[in-house]
Amino acid sequence: MSSKARPSLLWFRQDLRLHDNPALNAAIEHGRPVIPVYISDEAGEGDWPPGGASRWWLHHALHDLTEQLAVHGLRLILRHGESMQALHSLVKETGAEAVYWNRRYESAIITRDKEIKESLQAEGLEAKSFNAALLFEPWTIKSKNGGPYKVFTPYWRTCLSNSVPKPEKSDPARATPPMSWPRSENLEDWTLLPRLDWDKNFYDAWTPTRRGGWARLHAFLDGAAHDYGRGRDVPGEDGTSRLSPYLHFGQLGPREIYDTLKSKIDPDRGGACKYVAELGWREFSYHILYHFPETPTEPLDPKFAHFPWEPDEKLLRAWQRGRTGYPLVDAGMRQLWATGWMHNRVRMNVASLLVKHLQQPWQDGARWFWDTLVDADLASNTQGWQWSAGCGADGAPYFRVFNPMTQGQRFDPHGDYVREWVPELAKLPDAFIHHPWEASADVLKEAGVDLGDTYPMPVIDHKQGRNRALMAYEKLKHFAKESTKS
């Protein structure tokens, strides 16, 4: 009997849910008491510990998970410090004989987890990891010659020629609590919430709980999903899923999302198909990150190592603060700051302006997004920025330079989005909302806009910026040729 009481540790990471959770299932099947654990191990995250917005979300997700566990008489044991050390300590304190977790795919984490697994097994414990985060493990999808894919379309075709896995049923009620609980730290002491009131608008924008994610999924599938092909491009509408932070923290799993979608809509048709492809891009990003682990800092395309970026603190800061003088871009940057999220169409535009017009390194943009996005995800963020800069998988060709006025007119024709996030321009007529500097003095005065004072002039002329970007690419070709010669 006493040996039966030796518990299992269930190590939560980015899988903060009690359903479709294979590590939880393994712990239950093992038949021992279950001790759920979360370890705050910022050093273990390498160069990418959670940014400010992510920490806000994490705080609430952990609080929510604690409440869900309590329903079943379970607690979430919180520890901080090195994962290896914390786990060994817990094993010692509790007499645990097994540790279960769900995988992560960042290079530093893979290395760390591998050492932990070997170390635990060396001590005679059962240590097993599972897949809760992806539809397809990165190493299972191979091109005909056996290597990883670098192009999305054939990658996704191969994925879909397999069947999409179903969610795994989990029954947390079957998890039994231990005879006694080890010590836990207090979530509040981790001070994950920002000190100032940066997050004051986050609460209106998000319900960072499992239930909130589920509600969002159903609202999306009942509404915007049907017109996703069009609506996802209109930042003034609620046309996207907004599920990315739930996916990042594992409050919803991609298997659950796909399965729910399939129960309501034909996943092969119309808007639903477009959305499933977005899940595919998430998978593809993980595929690339796994097979090319340096990509968070190094361009996938090696010739971009020579790209003549022109880092400039002032330009970067103007961009970060939403003061570039381009209303669509500024609206996006301010939405990001206010809500921890930015519409996808606008993400492409702000990224294009930063790396093309302003010639700032894509890594600087990625770092800012990492700190300010509630959905900051190393795989998706990296691939998104590399794609924008033209150095990533299936990168946008160098000559694809977004025109922020044209994009604004096409996707935000009445300026709804700009008016919401750049209120000092709200009274401008539609005709000038995306290029106020072309309005007459009378129109500006009528709208209460004083260019250069209440709202900045463009930091760079569009045509000039575009040409600068095209010229930089010319230089890149030159460098690439030189380097192959030598």
Question: How far, in Å, are 382, 394, 397 from residue 473 at the CA level?
Answer: 21, 17, 10
Please give the Cα distance from 348 to 345 (Å, whole number): 5
DSSP state, residue 451: B
Indicate the residue among 150 and 248 with the shorter CB distance to DNA: 150
Chosen residue from 324, 403, 412, 469 binding DNA by CB under 7 A: 403
Residue 37: strand pairing partners: 11, 77
Choosing from 137, 278, 420, 424, which is the catalytic residue? 278
Are the C-beta atoms of residues 320 and 52 closer than 8 Å to each other?
A: no
Chosen residue from 187, 396, 425, 460 binding DNA by CB under 7 A: 396
387 in active site = no
Chosen residue from 12, 14, 407, 417 binding DNA by CB under 7 A: 407
362 in active site = yes
DSSP-derived 3-state class of residue 361: coil
Q: Choose the binding region for DNA from 86-94, 223-231, 237-245, 399-407 (rule: CB under 7 A).
A: 399-407
Contacts of 452 (CB under 8 A, 6+ apart): none
Choosing from 362, 368, 370, 421, which is the catalytic residue? 362
Q: Choose the binding region for DNA from 243-251, 355-363, 418-426, 462-470 (rule: CB under 7 A).
A: 462-470
479 binds DNA (CB under 7 A): no
278 in active site = yes
Chosen residue from 397, 452, 453, 486 binding DNA by CB under 7 A: 397
Closest among 99, 92, 141, 113 to 41, alpha carbons compared: 113
Please give the Cα distance from 379 to 291 (Å, whole number): 11
Chosen residue from 439, 462, 469, 476 binding DNA by CB under 7 A: 462
Chosen residue from 463, 464, 475, 483 binding DNA by CB under 7 A: 463
114 binds DNA (CB under 7 A): no
DSSP labels, 202-221: HHHH---SHHHHHHHHHHHH
Are the C-beta atoms of residues 350 and 329 closer than 8 Å to each other?
A: yes
Q: In the chain, how long is the greatest CA-to-CA distance?
A: 86
210 binds DNA (CB under 7 A): no
Please give the Cα distance from 328 to 407 (Å, whole number): 8
Closest among 379, 303, 316 to 353, alpha carbons compared: 316
Q: Choose the binding region for DNA from 187-195, 332-340, 353-361, 406-414 (rule: CB under 7 A).
A: 406-414
186 in active site = no
Closest distance of CB 232 from DNA, Å:
8
DSSP-derived 3-state class of residue 440: coil
Please give the Cα distance from 206 to 61 (Å, whole number): 12
85 binds DNA (CB under 7 A): no
Are the C-beta atoms of residues 22 and 61 closer than 8 Å to each other?
A: no
278 binds DNA (CB under 7 A): yes
Using CB under 7 A as the binding criterion, the count of chain residues that bind DNA stands at: 39
Which residues ranging from 150 to 189 are in contact with DNA (CB under 7 A)?
150-155, 157-158
Which residues ranging from 129 to 148 are in contact with DNA (CB under 7 A)?
143-145, 147-148
Are the C-beta atoms of residues 36 and 62 closer than 8 Å to each other?
A: no
Are the C-beta atoms of residues 330 and 422 closer than 8 Å to each other?
A: yes
410 binds DNA (CB under 7 A): yes
Choosing from 48, 57, 214, 281, which is the catalytic residue? 281
Q: Choose the binding region for DNA from 85-93, 343-351, 423-431, 444-452 (rule: CB under 7 A).
A: 343-351
Indicate the residue among 149 and 455 with the shorter CB distance to DNA: 149
406 binds DNA (CB under 7 A): yes
Instruction: Report residue 24 as tokens.
Output: 């939880």
Residues in contact with DNA by the rule CB under 7 A: 143-145, 147-155, 157-158, 233, 277-278, 281, 344-345, 348, 384, 387, 394, 396-403, 406-407, 410, 462-463, 466, 470
* Catalytic sites, residue numbers: 278, 281, 309, 344, 362, 385
